[in-house]
Structure 1
Amino acid sequence: MDLLQNVLFYTGLFIVMASLVPLIRHDFWIFRVFEYPRLQKLTVNLVLILIYVIFIPLNASREYVMLGVLCLNLAYLGWLIFPFTVLSGKQIVGSRKAPGDINIKLLIANVYQENKESDSYHTLIKQCNPDLLLMVETNKWWMEQMDRIGKDYPHQIKVPLENTYGMLLYSRFELVDGAVRYLVEDDIPSIETEVKLPSGDLVKLFCLHPRPPVPQENPQSTERDKEILMVAKKAKDTKGPTIVVGDLNDVAWSYTTELFSKISGLLDPRKGRGFFNTFNAKYFFLRFPLDHVFCSPDFTLTGINRLERCGSDHFPMCINLQYDPVALHKNDIPEATSEDKALAAEKIQAET
């Protein structure tokens, strides 16, 4: 019993520390990586509480203290992920009208560059039938495989790269003033364009895939955070409907993503609807929401789905948005405080 108590105590101590480490606003990867597994930490935390209550005699002050700390930590973690549960209010309301010429259906897929199951994506595209398709981690081989859809998706912006940061954008709708940007790093592209809906309305679109803060890629989150927040500022300055889409290599509940939402004023359609974890598709317990679509408050949500894996370590996401300016009065619009704006400006100006 003493061995079990010690294992529980030190496991509980680790979970609590792992929950508190992200409160340290440092760019080094060890502080950022613990933002990812909040749902996993909550699950382990709950299991530890149940084991304490059911199996461990609480006859020592150490056990009482740890049980109390775990209960507080459970409440804290629950509070952090609550906005992404179906119990929370929806940040973006559901569409009132049937899909039509003011809708735009987007499919985002991180294909995993070494993956060769391109036929699975062709099948997926037929099933989802998107208006716009963004594929990341795409090199020249992937471009050659996907160019077969060119007849149905004649408007294209393609940046095939061999460094796992290539991007392919295919669209049924006309792309206006499309451009490839290298906002922070000269080998990490982003795409900026306007999409002309069948209704004639122009939607500003930003496509991103910044480098993650992990030791084998980049030990700091500085570049990732800077790119995300630069686009947030661009989105805020955009007049008219705006969409940001991509694999941000950041979870939906991180403080950087929350800051992005506040600075940009864009909405997350997952809030109030579920986690929609897209990575890692290979391991059930290690999944996080890394692939994102954010939209301005003049959109409503017609549909959102996580699709079947096509050989990648990411699940594709399909999101159908409807442009409806009336929604401005119904959606829950995030607002940035002066502290948020100062922090964003500091991160944008940070040396990389």
Structure 2
Amino acid sequence: MSELVIAGFTAIIVLMTVAPLSRSSLWWIRGLDFPRLQIAAAGLLLLAAQLAFLDLSEFPEQLMPVATAACLLYQAWWILPYLRPYPNEVRLTPAPADNDRVRILSSNVLMTNRNADALIALVRQHQPDILVTLETDAWWQSRLDVLESEYPHTIKCPLENTYGMHVYSRLPLKDAETQFLVQPDVPSMHAMAILRSGQPVRMHFMHPAPPSPTENDESTERDAELLVVAKSVVKVPGPVIVAGDLNDVGWSATTRLFRKISGLLDPRVGRGMFNTFHAGHWFIRWPLDHLFHSRHFTLSFMRRLPNVGSDHFPVLVELVHDAAAGASQQGLTADDEDKQAANEKIEKEPVRPSDVHEPEA
């Protein structure tokens, strides 16, 4: 009986590892990109059980630990860059000059959450230059508007469908525009922020809808939105930041493709996962809230902040504009196959890179 149970769990681990290798955009297949850490942990426990309870002198039973070990190594390959021994992708810059830094606090507030005071307290404690909120409706806007005396530059799109977005900024925001690139009820925000030094920084704030049985049956909408933004920024000569709840994990094939096509860097690489969702369940957490940036920046710090009553933890990142120091930083690079894959994903939706607003100072 134990052999049959172990064989069944082995088949499940193999299926959960192999299914995402396909290019299928079905929600349940792309959803398996998320729990790679949990699958690896389950594989490790399963491998221990196989070695303890199977008769490894029998050939069929020898195959099970081999298959499990292969799955474990494959899952580990994806998450390895988000473990501390891995080399940092972004350089650390201590004690940044105030004029050259930009501090961004991003928070998916959970629309039904009514603890706005907790988020406002975090803002006043950490003093970000830019606050980005997701899932903010008219109620949240009425509470957050108390910040306008300190954050006079705003972009507002309150919605009652969990896709409302707001940006509150100390820094001037030029040529700001809210767009609905792929879905008519899912916005993104684009603006040129001006640092205290006078340096313009192109900003893109996003919250594409996830592949799920309650949202989109496939990941094509999310993937297309991410990749048109990636293609729109790849040739931008100046500094770029893309941030928000991307409803994808850093180690998924789609986010890796976004990084390859855009050329943007991930400050988490070599520093940790910074899992932000689900705030209420320690055993099921993934990094859904992201910030990517061009090589013009180095990192001052990155922190996951305390929960504000949402199912997401807020994230605080401080970057330093230092083009000379950042010039040697290297992220992922796209080959011809990557570019073809990106084009194929974009072509599935009625959106093109030229549709993305290109803010100017």
**TM-score (normalised: structure 2):** 0.94
Identity %: 42
State the shift of 1:98 in Å: 2.7
The answer to whether the 8 A contact 2:298-2:326 is kept is no
Alpha-carbon shift at residue 128 of structure 1 (Å): 2.0
Query: How far did 1:53 drift?
Result: 2.3
**1:20 alignment partner in structure 2:** 18
Per-residue deviation, residues 52-79 of structure 1 (Å, max 9, x unmatched): 2234443433321101111111111111
Q: Which segment is superposed worse, 5-14 or 274-283? A: 5-14
Shift in Å, 1:315: 0.6
- Aligned partners of 1:62 and 1:107: how far apart in 2? 53
Name the structure 2 match of 1:148.
146
Task: Give the alignment partner of residue 347 of structure 2, picking from 342, 346, 349.
Answer: 349
Query: Residues of 2 paired with 1:145 and 1:263: CA distance?
Result: 38
Residues 96 and 320 in structure 2, CA contact (< 8 A), matched pair in contact too: no
Which residue pairs with 1:70 in the alignment?
68
Structure 1 residue 338, shift from structure 2 partner = 1.3
2:297 to 296, 299, 324: 299
Q: Which residue pairs with 2:133 in the alignment?
A: 135
Specify the code of the residue in structure 2 equivalent to 1:294: F
Distance verdict in 2 for CA 1:234–1:351, change over 3 Å: closer
1:78 is paired with a residue whose SS is helix
Tell me which amino acid in the other structure corresponds to 1:276.
Answer: F
Say how many residue pairs are matched: 350
Helix, strand or coil at the partner of 1:101: helix
The CA deviation at 1:330 is 2.4
Separation (CA, whole Å) in 1 of partners of 2:307 and 2:101: 25
C-alpha distance in 1 between matches for 2:214 and 2:110: 16
Cα distance in 2 for partners of 1:15, 1:320 equals: 39
**Which residue of 89, 92, 95 corresponds with 1:91?**
89
Q: How far apart in 1 are the matches of 2:213 and 2:112?
A: 20
Q: Which moved more, 1:47-56 or 1:69-78?
A: 47-56
Do the aligned residues in 2 keep the contact of 1:16 with 1:70 (CA within 8 Å)?
yes
The one of 282, 285, 289 aligned to 1:284: 282
**Range with bigger deviation, 336-345 or 46-55:** 46-55
Distance (whole Å) between structure 2 residues aligned to residue 202 and residue 33 of structure 1: 37
Per the TM alignment, residue 97 of structure 1 is displaced from its structure 2 partner at its CA by: 4.8
Structure 2 counterpart of 1:115, from 104, 109, 113: 113
Contact kept, 8 Å, 1:25 with 1:31, in 2: the verdict is: no
Q: Would you say the 8 A contact 2:50–2:64 is kept in 1?
A: no
Query: What is the correspondence of 1:222-241 to structure 2 with a 5 Å cutoff?
Result: 222-241=220-239
Distance 1:314 1:331, change over 3 A: same
Which secondary structure does the structure 2 equivalent of 1:237 belong to?
coil
The residue aligned with 1:325 is: 323
Q: Which runs of 5+ in 1 are unaligned?
A: none
- CA apart distance, 1:190: 0.4
| TM-score, normalised relative to structure 1 | 0.97
Query: Partner letter of residue 316 of structure 1?
Result: P
